[in-house]
Amino acid sequence: MAVRSTIKTHVVGAQSEREKLDVFGLFWIFLEILSLAQCWVLYHIWSMKTAVIERCVESKVLIQTAKFVLRVLKAIPLIGGPIAHIFDRLCIFIRLKLMPFMIRKKQTLEKLFRICLIDTTLRNRNVKFILTGDPLDITGTSTSIIIANHRSIMDYALIDFLVHGEHGPDLKQYLGHAFFNHGNYPTASKLRFVGWGRLTGVPSIKFFASILLRDENATVRSSDIERVLMREGNECLALFPEVNVITSELRLVQRKLAKESYLPQLDNVLYPRFKNFNSTVSCLARLQHIDRSRKARYFKKAAHKTGSMILKVRSSRGHPSAKQMAQINLFLGDENLADATVTAKPKPNTNKVPIIVSPFLWDIAIVYYRATYFCQNEHAHIRDMQVHAVTDKKNHYQLQQITPSLFQFLKCPWGDSPIFVRVHVNKVAIPDLLKMNDRKLESWLEKTWLAKDEVLKNMQDSVRLY
């Protein structure tokens, strides 16, 4: 899809939406966009400064240089000792005081941008949420995985809103808590999106460049995910396996490709891409010391069979026969390997908080609707969208499925047509997934997406206005 049409569809929206606003409404939206831009710029400026300090502190060359300078200063008579002491205290201050302060403020600014985005788009009287399924109880004390279908560019803000909770702090409450310690709020999980070859918390220029320059199969390596978790601590990892936002055009293209490639026909979702999901699960399996390789499975089977043979020999009253000993030695080999176990070698954790994997994966289905009021014989002409209506003799409502843009949510408080967000959450036990190899994981994700397609169909058929 061309860049211009992408921006028009997912950011700006239809021209008819902008024509409905008066001058005051446009001015207010301009102020909201300006506040978001200020938070975004402030975060990235601070983030760059923090990255420079972190690289300087962790640089082996600078560490050796500082040690050499310290030795030289100590060798200078009279004034060398006091200067060396000041220099040493300065290095300790930068490493133990300044760098943690910069990292904390970076996290504060990141959350400030995210809450500002949620407040300006999702928290208003014209956005209604319909939540069904399991409760999404994600905390900051463990690392979780979220997978969801991709219906709009606003899915990023919606996932963030769901993770923080419907009754999470708004912008004023968070500012009072962050800078003046007013209020007491539970620690929300840090959120990162895995996609387009990057791990993203706050969208950056590099993230937008990845969308423009890379294809949908760009993969985040499991080692990169593990390195971020070791540095930042427990986080919530969210994925959109479809990568692209589903549109009428992409739906038609998918039907043609599915028919040619003998893939299952999907009407309400796009066919998932597997690599990022495999990388994320593989990373969490390593953190749990679970080896998903074929060799590990062979060792496990051999150990199970060997254990049964030893139990059989011990239960027999006489001495084991030569055949039984030969079978045992065939599996045990060297005596030193009898107690060997196969585990993944963990990497050192540079964060003080231990990495704990949540026992559940969260599968989320998302649909957006808009309720439009029509008088007498007016009708909405909607192509390739399912419409539900509640009518009387003269007037009626029509509930249509939409792909909302950023501007459409920004103008929602000033419109007369509310947006309904339907979310269904399914909780899946993750221990069995961590033991699967890549092929079985791909099969599981494909079956999950087939079930999600049916769930979305049932959600569309069951929604009604009363």
325 shares a domain with 206: no
* Predicted pLDDT at 210: 86
180 shares a domain with 68: no
**Coil, strand or helix: which one is 372?**
strand
> Does the residue 3 lie in any domain?
no
Specify the number of domains making up the chain.
3
272 shares a domain with 331: no
> Does the residue 170 lie in any domain?
yes
436 shares a domain with 395: yes
Inter-residue contact 392 to 272 (CB < 8 Å): no
Inter-residue contact 344 to 290 (CB < 8 Å): yes
> Does the residue 1 lie in any domain?
no
Give the domain extent around 87: 22-121
> Does the residue 12 lie in any domain?
no
> Does the residue 48 lie in any domain?
yes
Q: Strand locations in 167-282, DSSP E? A: 190-195, 198-200, 235-239
> Does the residue 403 lie in any domain?
yes
Write the pLDDT tens digit of every residue in 224-267. 999 999 988 899 999 999 999 988 888 888 888 888 888 888 98
Q: Which residues contact 359 (CB under 8 A, 6 or more apart)?
A: 429, 430, 431
Write the pLDDT tens digit of every residue in 306-340. 666 666 656 665 555 665 565 555 555 544 433 33
- Mean pLDDT in residue range 292-303: 61
131 shares a domain with 116: no
Relative orientation angle of helices 275-287 and 222-232, to the nearest 10 degrees: 50
> Does the residue 240 lie in any domain?
yes
* Predicted pLDDT at 38: 94
In angstroms, the CA 261 to CA 254 distance is 10
More confident residue, 281 or 294: 281
183 shares a domain with 58: no
224 shares a domain with 88: no
> Does the residue 11 lie in any domain?
no
Give the whole-number percent of the chain exceeding pLDDT 70: 75
Which of 29-43, 187-201, 277-291 is least confident? 187-201
361 shares a domain with 217: yes
424 shares a domain with 363: yes
146 shares a domain with 216: yes
Within 13 Å, how many C-alpha atoms sit on residue 341's CB side? 5
442 shares a domain with 465: yes
Write the pLDDT tens digit of every residue in 341-371. 334 444 555 555 688 999 999 999 999 998 7
- Mean pLDDT in residue range 204-221: 87
Note the pTM of the prediction, 2 decimals.
0.81
Q: End of a domain among 101, 121, 141?
A: 121
Neighbouring-strand partners of residue 237:
145, 192
In angstroms, the CA 385 to CA 402 distance is 8
Distances in Å between the alpha carbon of 365 and those of 16, 43, 158, 190, 371? 29, 31, 12, 21, 20
The torsion angle over the Cα atoms of residues 387, 157, 25 and 367, rounded to 10 degrees, is 0
Which of 6-10, 85-89, 238-242, 276-280 is least confident? 6-10
Write the pLDDT tens digit of every residue in 92-141. 999 999 999 999 999 889 999 999 999 999 988 889 999 999 998 888 78
Q: End of a domain among 274, 308, 337?
A: 337
386 shares a domain with 255: yes
* Predicted pLDDT at 464: 61
Q: End of a domain among 102, 121, 140?
A: 121
